[in-house]
Amino acid sequence: MIFNKKQRRLNRIINPKTKRTLLMAFDHVVEHGPVEYEGIDLDPLRIARIAHDGKVNGLIVHSGAARYIRKHINLPLIIKLTGKTSLTPKEFQAVVTTVKEAEYLGATAVAATVYVGSEYEDRMLENLSEIKRQCSERKMPLIGFMYPRVKGKKKDDPNVVRYAARLGAELGVDIVKTYYTGSKETFSKVVLDANFVPVLSAGGEMKDEIEFFQLVRDVMASGASGMAVGRNVWGKGNASSILNEVRKIIHGDSR
Ligand code: FBP
């Protein structure tokens, strides 16, 4: 079979046979600042080594970390194009990197957040449209972080997560990443609603290992294509062994 450039890139970040993927996310320091993660070594190279040795399908980072990592380590990088800080309450992610720049930095895919239901949703949707245009020009896969921000509702409210995930699929992102809704029953509805694209769950707040492994099993049992794990891996002292276990649950021996 002959694959086009975009499909070749997608095949690097999601197993073309099983349609499963294990990504690692490390965009947190932009969004929450270093103080939030006091006591954790936030060197992007440390995180990249864990990701590389744990054979993840891709590492999600911002452009500066990508530039630093790629000098030392060869692994598929997914460059985040949008960002915000927690120093402002404004629920808006600005475009901070172009697809051209991400490609220049060797990105295998790019990612962008949309806060669905936020006061600034319209601007983020307009930005998403421009990002999609750039992605189709450069045959670059796009992961949409479809994250609810609805007044009076929790971020992981199953009904709004369903809406957010479906929105991403409808608007043409290649992969949807969203919050886990707390149970496989509710998350399976999220996956079903967006069934024409792969749906990934974020790992969420730090929890103990046993609980985290159960979450990974439940995500996979819900029919999701995989996870983008973050704090629950690189935030722990035994990150590599946690990542190995997560990979076994998601991929078995098939990666
Ligand atoms: P985790 O797997 O650690 O939950 O990371 C997922 C993630 O979406 C990161 O990519 C991002 O930086 C962070 O969570 C944002 O969390 P929130 O939207 O809750 O502020």
- CATH at 113: 3.20.20.70
Residue from 22, 23, 27, 201 to probe ligand 1 pocket by mutation (most atoms less than 8 Å from CB): 27
The Å distance, Cα 200 to ligand 1 centre, comes to 12
| Count of domains observed in the chain | 1
217 found inside a domain: yes
Residue 207 token pair: 């929890």
Residue 227 CA: which ligand 1 atom is closest?
Answer: 2
pLDDT value of residue 118: 98
State the closest ligand 1 atom to the C-alpha of 27, by its place in the atom list counted from 1: 12
> Of ligand 1's atoms, which has the minimum distance to the CA of residue 206?
3
* Contact 115 CB / ligand 1 (< 6 Å): no
The rounded distance, in Å, linking the Cα atoms of 143 and 115 is: 14
Residue nearest to atom 4 of ligand 1 (CA): 204
Ligand 1 binding pocket includes 180 (Cβ within 6 Å): no
Query: Measured over all CA atoms, what is the biggest interatomic distance in the chain, rounded to whole angstroms?
Result: 49
Q: Contact at 8 Å (CB) between 110 and 135?
A: yes
Write out the catalytic residue numbers. Answer: 177
- Residue closest via CA to ligand 1's atom 18 equals 147
Residue 237 lies in a domain: yes
Q: What is the pLDDT of residues 121-158, one digit of tens each?
A: 999 999 999 999 999 999 999 999 999 999 999 999 99
Give a yes or no: residue 108 inside a domain: yes
- Is 20 domain-assigned? yes
Please give the Cα distance from 175 to 156 (Å, whole number). 18
The C-alpha atoms of residue 227 and residue 37 are separated, in whole angstroms, by: 21
Q: What pLDDT score does 253 carry? A: 75
Q: What pLDDT, on a 0 to 100 scale, did the predictor assign at position 2?
A: 55
Q: Which amino acid residue places its CA nearest to atom 6 of ligand 1?
A: 202
Residue to mutate, 21, 24, 31, ligand 1, most ligand atoms under 8 Å from C-beta: 31
pLDDT of residue 255: 58
The answer to whether the CB of 229 is under 6 A from ligand 1 is: yes
Query: Residue ranges of the chain with pLDDT lower than 50?
Result: none
**How far are the Cα atoms of 22, 54, 188, 226 from residue 18, in angstroms, in the given order?**
12, 18, 18, 11
Q: Which domain holds residue 133?
A: 2-249
Type of residue at 238: N
Q: What is the 29 CA–ligand 1 centroid distance (Å)?
A: 10
Q: Is residue 254 part of a domain?
A: no
